[in-house]
Amino acid sequence: AQKITQTQPGMFVQEKEAVTLDCTYDTSDPSYGLFWYKQPSSGEMIFLIYQGSYDQQNATEGRYSLNFQKARKSANLVISASQLGDSAMYFCAMIPGGISGGSNYKLTFGKGTLLTVNP
């Protein structure tokens, strides 16, 4: 079974500063994939970034980067140069199998972190 832990219910950051959202995971699968999603107040789930368990380098997508520390089983999201529009819920999620997983493999979500960007 997979488990995702997000220990920060809420985080505050000043506009233009960087912020790190924590995520730890637990799985017995040797192959897995890690995702971060953003959910603004409108409710839509927006995909931000993906990291495969066998990827050698940390994933980056624009202002988002994933600090993947496999031995510690952590996959923290770093948002650089925060913007007011970054205020939202952020969910870390995991899927067994990752890039080679079967189509029925299910995402396991953490409880989320509510990020507030202050002007």
Q: Contact positions toward another protein, by CB under 8 A?
A: 33, 37, 42-45, 47, 91, 95, 97-101, 103-107, 109-112, 114
For residue 67, the minimal CB distance to another protein (Å) is 22
Q: Which is nearer to another protein, 56 or 71 (CB)?
A: 56
Q: Which is nearer to another protein, 78 or 114 (CB)?
A: 114
Q: Which is nearer to another protein, 19 or 38 (CB)?
A: 38
AA letter at 39: Q
Taking the C-alpha atoms of residue 36 and residue 50, their distance in angstroms, rounded to an integer, is 7
